[in-house]
Structure 1
């Protein structure tokens, strides 16, 4: 997935109402729009597997949560990211007919690494998600064949890497029974 940026500087309000007449999705980074290209099929299958497993746990535990894709998370004054998956509390949806961008922390965010998103996913989003207070952040890396789970502790992320047949440990979903191998196979 390659990224394209615009030259015009946008405010967060401009971003909320931006429509270029296409189905393109953009992240906002310091006032610039960054085009998010469509995912690969591998990427889409990983999203599907994780979303289905998260939803199954939410339903099993009868939690007031939702697993959503393609919603934004405002991370600073002129920044908004679009995690591949966000787990949110239903109460975070205040108004249904406005841009799907949270202005509060999701419960969990997942990013799936592509060659072009490596730095964004491992560095920028890690720091932005910690500042906004997302308690758990997963980085699924098909290139390195690992899943990194970052847990927010006193404002900073502590990370644990999982590989192969290791069961992924999650504070959000402690009984989730998924291995890295299962996730990467989608």
Structure 2
């Protein structure tokens, strides 16, 4: 966690974030520090879309599925963009998701791997995101973490054509290999 601990609070604000161009880059804000990620590769976007479609088809009416770039703003100094998120409809404000999502999903890539595995895991945990899924397209591996007493615990690791039968945030069946179709 050395990367997280070496970040000094910056002066970048949500207003500054709102003024950035829509240029295909992903901009996130953590304690005044701007994080910039390049546009994702096709394999990444395929996994994001396939996962979102599966979640959306099973989503109950009181919940909503979003894909990045949808902001989740847990504090006035943080704005995060999970690749996929599920939240209560009532938690969606005019510009961002304002309360912790029930589920945040990150799809790993070379550009985001360490950020997603360590940094964003900690930020989602601190924010109270109930479930955090991490999908690695290179190994067709889905890791499912659930918040228990403020700490993420691994619930499942599912690979390839093995089936993950999610119960939370709602029942849905996920086969990691199908996310790359």
Q: TM-score, normalised by structure 1?
A: 0.81
Query: How many residue pairs are counted as aligned between the two chains?
Result: 170
The 2-side partners of 1:9 and 1:133 are apart by 25
Structure 1 residue 145 displacement after superposition: 3.0
Q: 1:57: which partner in 2?
A: 58
Which aligned pairs between 1:1-186 and structure 2 lie closer than 5 A?
A: 9-15=11-17, 17-20=18-21, 22-58=23-59, 62-69=60-67, 70-95=69-94, 99=95, 101-159=96-154, 160-173=156-169, 175-183=171-179, 185-186=180-181
| 5+ residue gaps, structure 2 | 1-9
Distance 1:119 1:75, change over 3 A: farther
The 2-side partners of 1:171 and 1:131 are apart by 23
Distance 1:166 1:174, change over 3 A: farther
Structure 1 residue 34 displacement after superposition: 2.0
**Shift >6 Å, 4+ stretches:** none
The 2-side partners of 1:137 and 1:103 are apart by 17
Distance 1:133 1:178, change over 3 A: same
Tell me the alpha carbon deviations over residues 41-97 of structure 1, each in whole angstroms, 9 at most, x when there is no partner: 111111111111111101xxx4311111121122445222111111111111233xx
Is contact 1:65-1:90 (8 Å) kept? yes
Is contact 1:27-1:82 (8 Å) kept? yes
Structure 1 residue 25 displacement after superposition: 3.0
Q: 2:4: which partner in 1?
A: none
The 1-side partners of 2:105 and 2:169 are apart by 13
